[in-house]
Chain A
Amino acid sequence: MPYKKLRIEITNRVGYILLDAGSRFNKLSITTIRELKRAFAQLEGDESAYAVVLSGYPGESFAAGADIGQMVNFSPGDAFHFAEFGQSLFDQIESCSKPVICALNGITMGGGCDLAMSCDIRIATEGLRIGHSGAKLGIITGFCGTHKLPHIVGKNFAREIFMTSEPYSSADALRMGLVDRVYADDVFWPEVVQLAERIASHPLNALSAAKRLINAAEDTDLRSGCLLERETATHINSLHISLH
């Protein structure tokens, strides 16, 4: 079945999921979330992709939040199921065995910000506008943002972002740690491609193991995390040596 809200390309071991809703702004509608789930499943199973880049490039937005027209008449029950559905996508991205790089090409609000936070690395253009407009809409996010944002930028910045519901610049986002790198518009995409291809050139089993360990570190006490690391490293590193 063809995709309506995104495109998939695979070049030089990197799988690109490019959001393209065909309108000015990409929205995290139910259809887009469904297609993203399908796209990640497709690249997970595609042996020619060793890393994934998620972006709205070359459009104006990465994702400008949920579809308010769709949500305005939600019952609490509808909202519950919508949150569960969105969260299942983010869980799928976090458990994806391949590194996922998020290339934030422009406006990234609400659910778009949560989508970005489920990826492993965030790279942004200088023109980034990122934030959470829930308090302006009378809601909170239901897409894991209340847990992830405070752990990425700290509780105090997270509360400020939620409370003001304003978009923040790339410089603010970099200072808060919400994005890892910022590039000028003209070099943004070449830099994204270069980083993705470099990451994709490394052995995938080591990348997957590192991703699993780092994600596990957040929810695990230090001793158990170290035990897990020892077991994983013993397995991965001995495998690696035997290859050479």
Chain B
Amino acid sequence: MPERVGYIHTTLNGVAVLTLSGKRTASSRDLLEHLHRQIATLARTEEVKGILLTGSGDGFCHCSPESALSPQTASKLSGFGQKTMFDLEKIGKPTIAVIEGECAGLGLEVALACDFIVASASARFGFPGIATGRIPFCGGSQRLVRLVGKSKTKELIYSGDLIDAEEAYRIALINRLYPVGEALTNAEKLLEHICTRSANAIRIGGEVVNAGYDIDLQTACMLERDAFALCFSSFDQREGMQAFLDKRAPEFKGE
């Protein structure tokens, strides 16, 4: 595995694997800058239909914490980190975080900004920064609450302890749990399967889920109704439904 912070490898079926290994000495700013650039590249590369974000060997997004920052610098770094996570969340293609080993601090922030997380039994998750007086700064505190609830989030952030894969599976932080060393192969199969679906429907669906989550039911349903109607001007809708009626596999164009 290359010693670069990020490394993109694309399979024949349109799945890009973004390896965020990093050296433990890389700073979180370096890692975020790399990630920011790679998200832009992945978003505009047409051959890329879906993205796996993974680490190499023993962990995901390792980096060393910044040494003491001025409040101004810390605020800027947090703003940039949050923007990068929003970019990842809104990339318009399915994203899965694939975790073997440690996924902590910035690593967990990145994983939480993906559509969902899968992991092997060797995975561990947490925000250990509290021991040195740090809290999540890329939206992690907000995304974790929405995923596992308030008390579990407080327990994780207050204690700084890492939880193992079993517990992460139990509290639904991760969607799927695989044997050690098998997470990436399985995630690749899962994402290739997802990529046979309508990219258009997946993109619109993801956007409506994100946009509707924090608003009331009635307003969210109006938004959904309009997005649903929009699907009926797409090639994919005609093709998908015709294929269903013809009992054949659809050939989507993603438009």
Contacts and interface: CB of A to CB of B under 8 A. Distances in A.
Interface of A: 68-69, 71-72, 74-80, 83-84, 87, 134-142, 144-151, 153-160, 162-165, 176, 218-219
Contacts, number: 165
Given A136-B244, A163-B94, A83 B212 contact: no
Interface residues of B, number: 52
A164 B194 contact: yes
B175 A79 contact: no
A83 B244 contact: no
Interface of B: 94, 115-117, 146-148, 172, 175, 190, 193-194, 197-198, 200-202, 204-206, 208-210, 212-213, 216-217, 220-221, 224-242, 244-245, 250, 252
A149 B239 CA distance: 26
A75 B232 contact: yes
B208 A156 contact: no
Contact of B242 (A72, A77, A142, A144): A72
Contact of A134 (B115, B175, B201, B242): B201
B228 A79 contact: yes
B244 A155 contact: no
A139 B232 contact: yes
Contact of B238 (A76, A138, A162): A138
Contact of B250 (A134, A136, A163): A136
Contacts of B147: 154-156
A140 B201 contact: yes
A216 to B, nearest CB: 10
B209 A158 contact: yes
Contacts of A142: 224-225, 227-229
Nearest to B198: A138
Nearest to A219: B216
B241 A164 contact: no
A155 B210 CA distance: 8
Contacts of B231: 79, 138-140
A68 B221 CA distance: 21
A137 B241 contact: yes
Given A136-B198, A142-B229, A150 B209 contact: yes
Given A138-B234, A139-B241, 7 more contacts: A72-B241, A137-B198, A138-B240, A147-B224, A154-B147, A160-B116, A163-B94
Contacts of A144: 217, 220-221, 224
A163 B224 contact: no
B220 A135 contact: no
A160 B226 contact: no
27 contacts: A68-B241, A75-B232, A83-B224, A134-B201, A134-B205, A135-B197, A136-B240, A136-B250, A138-B234, A139-B198, A139-B236, A139-B240, A140-B208, A140-B228, A147-B220, A147-B224, A154-B148, A155-B147, A155-B209, A156-B115, A156-B116, A156-B172, A162-B205, A163-B206, A176-B172, A218-B216, A219-B216
A158 B227 CA distance: 17
A159 B212 contact: no
B201 A139 contact: yes
Contacts of B197: 135-136, 163-165
A87 B217 CA distance: 11
Q: For A80, A135, A136, which residue has the most chain B Cβ atoms within 10 angstroms?
A: A135
Contact of A146 (B193, B194, B200, B212): B212
A138 B172 contact: no
A182 to B, nearest CB: 17
B193 A154 contact: no
B201 A219 contact: no
B252 A138 contact: yes
Contact of A76 (B217, B220, B233): B233
B253 to A, nearest CB: 10
Q: Which 10 residue pairs spanning A and B have beta carbons closest together?
A: A142-B228, A138-B240, A138-B236, A156-B116, A135-B197, A147-B220, A80-B229, A137-B240, A83-B225, A79-B232
Contacts of B226: 80
B255 to A, nearest CB: 10
Most buried by A among B208, B228, B229: B228
